[in-house]
Amino acid sequence: MGGSIGNHKSAKRVNSINAVQQKTLKSSINCAGIALHSGNKVSMVLGPGEPDSGIVFKRTDIAGGGAYIPATWERVVDTNMCTTLGNDDGVTIGTVEHLMAALAGCRIDNATIEVNGPEIPIMDGSSWPFMFLLECAGIVEQDAPRRVIRIKKPVKVMDGGSVASLIPGNGFSLAFEIEFDSPVISRQSISIGLGNGAFKKELARARTFGLLHEVEQLQASGMALGGSLDNAVVISGGRVLNEDGLRYNDEFVRHKALDAVGDLYLAGAPIIGHFSGTYSGHAANHRLLQKLFADKDSCRHDLFPADEAEADDMEVAWAGDLVSSIGATA
């Protein structure tokens, strides 16, 4: 996707290793919802993309040719509260992480996302509605090989107590740890392999969350104006205010893992390796990709052999101690 993958391989090379093919949507599908931060209603159309075009956002409320924004790490312009992308003309699109995570979970390589405003609709605060829409539109293979980014050596970024890391490995797996000064959240951790549809089963329904006093402060400052119990888990003192409670006992750390999946898909292709995040967020995820691509020896752009994809599909969970592994190799 985008400019991160490099030159295309020859057809002869593709056939010789029986590579997995790229995927896109079979047809377009539309939806509408509330933008989390502006509170405005937003309409969006998810549509097919040409082979090797990657994920591209188009602002339909912007006239002329400056409305296109490639979904790549080079285009990240802000990581405060969400991940925001921008193009050379100053046009931006924010809160892309939940949709990007759904695209990664559905293994969609190419798509055009048309939006009539500067923010993706928040829907229910998770990736679940986006996955539902993508599956309803249908997913088809394309006549082009899928490319991956294979981690070759450990990469780590730190900021205070926040750590985000990538190490080599088979398939893509993820470990995350959070700690909040709230008896409802407290300290939570998760380690999971994302083969065999695990993203949809284990992470996709986890919603964004916040403490009530923090939400009120954000709204008083003009942010999170569209936030409500319909699209976020809100905590007050020792209880969850949402009438239906939590979707997972550890929904909070699962949502942070979901965010990481979406942010890392801005690499421009699926990552083959293991990610770990400790008290990290959008900013650390972005710095990690910057550091990864700043060192040409830290990763390799590659085709995705079909036999390796089949092995990845059999990996339901990754049981290693990822944090310890990174500490030993850093």
The whole-number pLDDT of residue 195 equals 84
275 pLDDT above the threshold of 90? yes
The whole-number pLDDT of residue 66 equals 81
User: pLDDT above 70 covers what percent of the chain?
Assistant: 88
Q: Residue holding tokens 């089949």?
A: 310
How does the average pLDDT of the chain come out, rounded? 89
Contact 85, 92 (CB under 8 A): yes
pTM score, whole prediction: 0.89
Contact 35, 226 (CB under 8 A): yes
Confidence of residue 122 (pLDDT cuts 50, 70, 90): very high
117 pLDDT above the threshold of 90? yes
Taking residue 51's Cβ as centre, other Cβ atoms within 10 Å add up to 16
255, 274, 282, 286: the active-site residue: 282
Rounded mean pLDDT of 245-261? 98
The whole-number pLDDT of residue 310 equals 59
Phi, psi values for residue 149, rounded to 5°: -115, 110
286 is catalytic: no
Q: Which candidate, 80, 90, 142, 88, places its Cα nearest to that of 111?
A: 142
Tokens for 67, please give them. Answer: 């409305």
Which range (62-71, 118-127, 233-242) has the least confidence? Answer: 62-71
The whole-number pLDDT of residue 2 equals 38
Give per-residue pLDDT as tens, 147-201. Answer: 999 999 999 999 888 999 999 998 999 999 999 999 999 999 999 999 888 999 9
User: pLDDT above 90 covers what percent of the chain?
Assistant: 80
Contact 254, 206 (CB under 8 A): yes
Rounded mean pLDDT of 225-249? 96
305 pLDDT above the threshold of 60? yes
Domains of the chain: 11-146 (3.30.230.20), 148-329 (3.30.1700.10)
Q: How far apart are CA 310 and CA 171, in angstroms?
A: 10
HSE-CB at 9 with a 13 A cutoff on CA atoms is: 21
